[in-house]
Amino acid sequence: MQAPILILCAHGTRDTDGQALIEAVATQVRAAIDAEVVVAYVDVQEPTVADVVASIPMNQSGMSAVVVPYLLAGGYHVHVDIAEAVASRDDCIAAPALGPDHRLIDILLDRIREAGVLATATLVLAPAGSSDPRSQSDTELTLDWLRLRWDGPVRVGYAAGIEPTVAQAIRAARDYGEDSDDGDVAVVSYLLSPGFFQNALERSDADHVTAPLAPDARLVEIVVERYRAAQVV
């Protein structure tokens, strides 16, 4: 029996490096599973996830496709855009987002070390930002897990959309003296790829800004796990 197609559904970006990176991740996923892998998007780029799902022939006797959100939290794009794309198809299913997941914390800590951040630093976890409370809840859980793994203060600052912004979080850390006694302020990118939001983080006045999470083999591992788990629900 043919394995269901894995539809890797990313947000989309106009940044050419970000576009190349999602294609590279898709190539890595193809190498990890014996199934067709197709890339789709919820914004900015095409093909849209709705169009990709609609293009797949109906399977009356099994599962045709699993949509794996290449997104860090379960907000509007997961619960509305992707959910609506598969709503009329009994043979297609949507998996959960990549996060929250403890492996993402492992990647964040690696990026923090790679940036040369001091162990006494204040961390500002910086996701893209969403007004969807489900996305915010996922971010809060990720924030809690990061706090358990870091000795210094850990705050959240959103790259866009909602408050506190990254700039507000950095300012609050310095107002409270968290940057004294060799305690730098580091913005921890909770983004998957370079692009508009990462560029905004790098323009902040933090002492350090970490790189995005991708590329990383653990992201591929999570994608494949989400794909396989969805088939046994």
Instruction: Annotate 86-119 with DSSP letters as a single string.
Output: HTT-TTEEEPPPS-S-HHHHHHHHHHHHHTT--T
Residues 63 and 4 sit within 8 Å (Cβ to Cβ):
yes
Nearest to 51 by CA among 16, 14, 9, 97: 9
pLDDT at 179 over 70: no
Q: Which two tokens stand for residue 146?
A: 């990061």
Q: What architecture is domain 102-209?
A: 3-Layer(aba) Sandwich (3.40)
- For residue 205, what pLDDT is reported? 94
What mean pLDDT is reported for the chain?
A: 95
3-state SS, residue 39: strand
CA distance 1 to 51: 25
Return the amino acid letter for 125: L
Does position 64 have pLDDT exceeding 70, yes or no? yes
Q: Is the pLDDT of residue 2 over 90?
A: no
pLDDT(21) > 80: yes
Q: Is the pLDDT reported for residue 155 higher than 70?
A: yes
Find, among 129, 152, 72, the residue nearest to 104 by Cα.
Answer: 72
Q: Nearest 5°: phi and psi at 83?
A: -60, -40
pLDDT at 177: 81
Q: Which of 130-134, 207-211, 227-231 has the lowest mean pLDDT?
A: 130-134
Structure confidence at residue 60 as a pLDDT band (50, 70, 90): confident
pLDDT at residue 178 greater than cutoff 80: no
Statement: residue 61 has pLDDT above 70? yes
pLDDT score for 232 = 81
Name the pairing type of β-strands 154-156 and 185-189.
unpaired
pLDDT exceeds 80 at position 166:
yes
Give the mean model confidence (pLDDT) for residues 176-205: 89
Please return the burial class of 46, using the count of CB atoms within 10 Å of its CB with bins 0-12, 13-18 and 19+.
exposed
All CATH 3.40.50.1400 domain ranges of the chain, comma separated, are 5-98+215-230, 102-209
User: Which pLDDT does position 73 carry in this prediction?
Assistant: 96
Q: How far apart are CA 175 and CA 6, in angstroms?
A: 47
Q: Selecting from 1.10.8.100, 3.40.50.1400, 3.10.450.50, 1.10.1040.10, what CATH number does the domain 5-98+215-230 have?
A: 3.40.50.1400
Q: Which two tokens stand for residue 110?
A: 């690696």
State what percent of residues in the chain have pLDDT above 90: 89
The gap between the terminal CA atoms of the chain, to the nearest Å, is 18
Average pLDDT, integer, range 133-145:
96
Average pLDDT over residues 135-154: 96
Which band of pLDDT confidence, cut at 50, 70 and 90, is reported for residue 59? confident
Secondary structure (3-state) at 230: helix
Integer Cα distance of 20 and 215 in angstroms: 11
State what percent of residues in the chain have pLDDT above 70. 97
